[in-house]
Amino acid sequence: HTSSSRASACSSSRCGSNPLLIVIIRTRYAGDRELRAAEFGPSTIPSLADLSRLSASGVNVSVQTAWGLPAVSAAIRLLAETLASMSLIVYRGEGGQRERARDTWQWQLLHERPNVEQSPYDFVYDLSASVESCGNGFAQKIREGSQVTELVPLDPDCVSVYRDPETREKRFDVLVGRKLFRGLTASDVFHVRGATVKGGGVAGVSPIHMHRDPLGAALATARFEGAFFRNGAQPGVTLVLPLSSQ
């Protein structure tokens, strides 16, 4: 597992004021693997989060890089767009007395306008795509008194979910810009949990993180093919052998 991998870093003086970071990783499959800083995006020093996304092929697999695979983006979009195309209907009553509650604030919130910037389609799409890619979907609840007037989607990477050790109540830490809001509750944050490995999990597990090794292999294959054809489909090394005297 990459979190227990042994890593060392050094910089090359050939790069002047902008050194190229080289990281040597002892992988869980044995053997050392040299990784360049370019594989970790704009950051020159890979963080623990970067190393946790490292696949067996040595490619850093994140939600953004995985979306570059047509099969991944098509699967997520299919689910998210299908769910978003279904209207959210609010009813009152039961059985034969059930009717659409058009005059309620819940109808206005879910069926008409979840927030000032999004239609119901956009809101459900964002939440569904977050669940399918990150394992969780979050939305901030904006209130006027006891009524929720807006639901604003949150970046799943900026939300941490845990249980209060004393009350066992679900809590949220939300990073907005540079400000961290700690200890928010379900009255502040709407949470849609995705699949979990074990039942009763407080948060869903990212399918992309769970399947980072096969996704990393697909990304590595695409990168190799691109580099091969960019080189004119020519091998990087040519062997010249003397003609046989016989």
Query: pLDDT tens across 154-183, in order?
Result: 999 999 999 999 999 999 999 988 899 999
pLDDT at 95: 86
3-state secondary structure of 174: strand
Cβ distance 105 to 90 under 8 Å? Answer: no
pLDDT at 42: 46
Distance of CA 69 to the CA centre of its chain: 14
CA distance linking residue 149 with residue 62, whole number of Å: 34
pLDDT at 96: 86
Cα torsion 153, 157, 159, 163: sign: positive
What residues have CB less than 8 Å from 170, skipping those under 6 apart?
161, 162, 163, 164, 185, 186, 191, 202
Low-confidence ranges of the chain (pLDDT < 70): 1-53, 236, 245-246
3-state secondary structure of 62: coil
Give the pair of three-digit tokens for residue 206: 């990212």
DSSP 86: S
Cβ distance 35 to 45 under 8 Å? Answer: no
Look at the pTM and tell me if it is higher than 0.85: no
pLDDT at 49: 54
Return the percentage of the chain with pLDDT > 70, whole number.
Answer: 77
